[in-house]
Amino acid sequence: MSDTHILITGGAGFIGSHLVRHFLNAYPSYTITNLDSLTYAGNLVNLRDVEHLGNYRFVKGDITDAPFIENLFSENRFDGVIHLAAESHVDRSIASPLEFVTTNVIGTVNLLDAARRCWAGDFSGKRFYHISTDEVYGSLGREGIFTEETPYDPHSPYSASKASSDHFVRAWHDTYGLPVVISNCSNNYGPCQFPEKLIPLFINNIRLKKPLPVYGKGENIRDWLWVIDHASAIDVIYHRGNNGETYNIGGHNEWTNIDLIRLLCVIMDRKLGREPGESAKLITYVTDRAGHDLRYAIDSSKLQRELGWAPSIRFEEGLERTVEWYLDNQEWLDQVTSGAYRDYYEKMYSSSGAGS
Ligand code: NAD
Ligand code: DAU
């Protein structure tokens, strides 16, 4: 029986909740502590099916609170950290950049330093895994692809804060010998994504017959990955990646926004029993996002070659499954858009400290 204890930060969010479930299912002998401050993006409903498990524990806490983090590490013998907690939405970073610096940079440094101090003297068998984004590499033209060697060139406050946190992670490796690994992933999609991001926002708006705000001409390109494939890549990298290394994760699946939106409209018309073309009438071109990166495309051949990971499903199938999930879980959509679930958590966890 393994006594491995992993701290996952941001486990109540979109990717984090899939990752927590993946680890609990794949490694029943591990203990998983999920640390999350439950911002608007954190939702424990995402984990309802696994929260009863004896080897799962939720702790409500803020990664920017250094004494709290220090205490958490000294009270627990974590073998590893998988760090996802972050402010993650580009548009919000344009409106409130300092929150992104605080959470994504200071929060990451707090965790790095707590791990360094707690593990001091014995890093063997330890791992600090930082989850990052392809946005740190900047924007591609029509040609080219991001490799692990592509120089950093972030443009939004969000991507600048993630790039900064990546540099701090490498600094803790190079300066203190902390055993770190970093992955940079492309756009994720799937169940439980907060409906501010393109795909769930547009699914929600189509079901409510609200306009679909396409930024600029809709010609920007993103490389989409099924969120559960991201979780399986993180598993492989956590267990078999090399210390100090970076791995790119992506699905070789580039779509212009407008092509993706048109496909989504076709699927939604079919699922909702609407006339073909009805949802596409909601498409509304709006002012472009400031500093909008034109194209992301990830070369994940290092991960595929060295660690044998590959994405499991085609985008058309994943998008269909995604639509089905949101239509089957309209209550989830209504709750997260009404803020009802936040009122509940305010009441549940109004005093600080461990949630359960
Ligand atoms: P998300 O916004 O859905 O979830 C973030 C989680 O972090 C939430 O549960 C939130 O409550 C928690 N959190 C925020 N601030 C916190 C704090 N100060 N202390 C503790 N918890 C806090 O984000 P996501 O889309 O699941 O992204 C997770 C990670 O993966 C982020 O680091 C993001 O940069 C990275 N990433 C995301 C994508 C993507 O397409 N969504 C792609 C590549 C990388
Ligand atoms: O590439 C990885 C990144 O992907 C992650 O690091 C981020 O956390 C995640 O939010 C995502 O960033 P994007 O900015 O690419 O995702 P978003 O869903 O916000 O937008 C996808 C594309 O759709 C982008 O080109 C902007 C466009 N868009 C988005 C919204 C919300 C629109 O045209 N209209 C919209 O209303």
Please indicate, yes or no, if residue 57 is contained in any of the structural domains: yes
Give tens-digit pLDDT for 262-302. Answer: 999 999 999 999 999 999 999 999 999 999 999 999 999 99
Nearest residue (by CA) to ligand 1, atom 1, is 13
Give tens-digit pLDDT for 238-250. Answer: 999 999 999 999 9
What single string gives the DSSP state of each residue in 158-213? Answer: HHHHHHHHHHHHHHHHHHH---EEEEEE-EEESTT--TTSHHHHHHHHHHTT--EE
Query: Which ligand ends up closest to the CA of 188?
Result: 1
134 is catalytic: yes
Give tens-digit pLDDT for 24-42. Answer: 999 999 999 999 999 999 9
196 is catalytic: no
Three-state DSSP class for residue 87: coil
Give tens-digit pLDDT for 58-107. Answer: 999 999 999 999 999 999 999 999 999 999 999 999 999 999 999 999 99
Query: Which ligand ends up closest to the CA of 36?
Result: 1
Ligand 1 pocket residue status of 185, Cβ below 6 Å: yes
pLDDT at 348 (0 to 100)? 67
CA of 281 to the centre of ligand 1 (A): 32
Give tens-digit pLDDT for 176-187. Answer: 999 999 999 999
Please indicate, yes or no, if residue 75 is contained in any of the structural domains: yes
Total tally of structural domains belonging to the chain: 1
Please indicate, yes or no, if residue 220 is contained in any of the structural domains: no
Confidence of residue 339 (pLDDT cuts 50, 70, 90): confident
Query: By residue range, what is the domain housing residue 146?
Result: 4-189+226-252+292-313+340-349
* 85 touches 104 (CB < 8 A): no
Instruction: Tell me which of 36, 62, 113, 135 is the catalytic residue.
Output: 135
Ligand 1 pocket residue status of 12, Cβ below 6 Å: yes
Give tens-digit pLDDT for 131-157. Answer: 999 999 999 999 999 999 999 999 999
* Amino acid at the residue 55: N
Q: Compute CA distances 142 → 33, 177, 298, 350, whole Å.
A: 42, 39, 13, 49
* Amino acid at the residue 275: E
Average pLDDT of the chain to the nearest whole number: 95
CA of 90 to the centre of ligand 2 (A): 7
189 is catalytic: no
pLDDT at 354 (0 to 100)? 39
Please indicate, yes or no, if residue 331 is contained in any of the structural domains: no
Determine the straight-line distance between the first and last CA of the chain, rounded to whole angstroms: 24
Q: Compute CA distances 51 → 20, 323, 331, whole Å.
A: 10, 25, 20
Token pair listed for 231: 């979780």
Please indicate, yes or no, if residue 127 is contained in any of the structural domains: yes
Please indicate, yes or no, if residue 155 is contained in any of the structural domains: yes
Please report, for the domain that includes residue 33, its CATH number: 3.40.50.720
Non-local (6+) Cβ contacts of 144 within 8 A are 297
Question: Is the pLDDT reported for residue 355 higher than 70?
Answer: no
Please indicate, yes or no, if residue 201 is contained in any of the structural domains: no
Please indicate, yes or no, if residue 84 is contained in any of the structural domains: yes
